[in-house]
A and B are shown apart, each in its own frame.
Chain A
């Protein structure tokens, strides 16, 4: 297995969302870049599969790649792991070029294709062992890693069973284990819960969460938005082969949601008083419904603190003040222009 010292570091400064409050200190963290994509283009017979994709994923981040069927998600993943040759652009994984040295890239990644099969005549153990042998792992590493994966993914009881006799959920788990045999630094999961029943899908979700805890970098393609929201900390939305947006989930949500603050008062009377108090301060507009006030404010962080001060000084009973969160559904539809 290739263990390279990451070749690139960059100073990660959370991107201002355009509505930040002046004076908020910028949080600076030293992050290691695991995947870097610059102007990546792949064409199929003069049709763009992906077109000028730029993407950066830091180590330990799980990125959800969203888009409609045929948007270019699978093409991007296949190009990153060297299954398809890019027409132009550059992509590095852990500092290794996926364009000029795809074989080395394949040593540090694990991949679960969207539609995958298992050798039906082989047992669960033999499939993992065969994969480990093809990864050129030595005997002791193979034995230990397979034992660990069987235990971790709760496959020990069925390790002697032929995969042809397993349910779809279990087959997905075996596919997952197979993708992790080489203890990869980056794991590509192409529609990992596609076609699974809710219970099996939840099982896969919890496996993804465990991988996140292990510090793996994940790139997960999906069009199941609630699932992506649970599993990923960053998202990238791709449309017709082009990247529409990317960033942390919170940033993208801020970018595409209408910023507003929700103030819940103890009762409707308090709410009416509060509205009178706050109306001169917020030109964007205030609406009320029973004891809840919605304030449209560009700078939500600043607005929240200001509202709190104002209402407390007026001795009005406030139950809560919070920023209104958009769902990923809202963001996705807006980003897609639907």
Chain B
């Protein structure tokens, strides 16, 4: 089972990463969201100073903004999961192969997750690289704050996974264009989280723990919904 999932995943990633337009789009988005996050961080530092505790608090808010990049990056590959297969008329043959629904779903989903996590690593590399070099802050000092740990290593990856799951699940039922709308919806969720972290007067660690718990539940529900509702018949009927 794992071998087939790996083959589908590998093919999806290979098709995605060999498109020049995709590379160009991702570079532009990386620069754009990296610059936007860094610009906002600089404004916060100008306002509150460059002590690690303030930078850490600032990043806790801004990382949700930066996470738009990996979601967008994964969005491109999620669209390829089913809508592009449908448009290219390759879906019916794929579904006629001796693969289980779960294998097809997981192969497509994991390819998007890898793209998303890669995007997350890239944007965090840019943001944290700038922070470490420009403000001369040590990683230990920056990550002394648990809320940032949760945000960077738990919430953002989970958000990316959840939004990718949402896109892949929905993409089996809608067109490529409509899938991009789901992507934009995902951006609003991230911006909403960004605003909530910045404005709600709640202990950041508690807030992040609650968000992480909600995301974990969301991922489980979305995975169950995705695998249970995914079936060949609905895809074939949509051709």
Q: Measuring CB to CB, which residues of chain A are less than 8 angstroms from any residue of chain B?
A: 44, 78, 81-85, 103-104, 106-107, 109, 111-113, 115-122, 130-131, 133-136, 175, 178-179
Contacts and interface: CB of A to CB of B under 8 A. Distances in A.
B110 to A, nearest CB: 15
Interface stretch (B52-60, B87-95, B152-160, B188-196): B87-95
Contact of A83 (B3, B92, B99): B92
B97 A130 contact: no
A84 B94 CA distance: 14
Contacts of A78: 236
B90 A116 contact: yes
A130 B10 CA distance: 10
Given A107-B98, A116-B93, A117-B88, A134 B7 contact: yes
Given A83-B233, A117-B90, A134 B99 contact: yes
Given A111-B96, A116-B90, A116-B93, A134 B8 contact: yes
B236 A83 contact: yes
A122 B15 contact: yes
B11 interface: yes
B7 A106 contact: no
Given A116-B90, A134-B4, A134-B99, 19 more contacts: A44-B237, A83-B96, A85-B233, A103-B98, A103-B99, A103-B100, A107-B98, A109-B96, A113-B96, A116-B92, A119-B88, A130-B7, A131-B97, A133-B7, A135-B97, A136-B3, A136-B98, A175-B93, A178-B93
Contact of A130 (B3, B11, B89, B92): B11
Q: Main SS of the interface on chain B? A: helix
Contact of A84 (B4, B8, B93, B233): B233
B89 to A, nearest CB: 3
Given A83-B96, A84-B233, A130-B7, A117 B18 contact: no
Nearest to B11: A130
B236 A119 contact: no
B19 interface: yes
Task: Give the size range of B's interface with the partner.
Answer: 20 to 34
A84 B238 CA distance: 12
Contacts of A117: 88-90
A44 B236 CA distance: 12
15 contacts: A83-B95, A83-B236, A84-B233, A103-B98, A106-B98, A113-B92, A113-B96, A115-B89, A116-B89, A117-B90, A119-B11, A133-B3, A134-B4, A134-B97, A136-B4
B33 to A, nearest CB: 27
Given A134-B8, A136-B4, A120 B88 contact: yes
A109 B96 CA distance: 9
Contact of A113 (B7, B8, B18, B93): B93
Contacts of A82: 232
Interface string B112-151: 0000000000000000000000000000000000000000
A88 to B, nearest CB: 16
Nearest to B18: A121
Interface string B1-37: 0011001100100010011000000000000000000
Contacts of A109: 96
Contacts of A134: 4, 7-8, 94, 97-99
Nearest to B103: A134
Contacts of A121: 15, 18-19
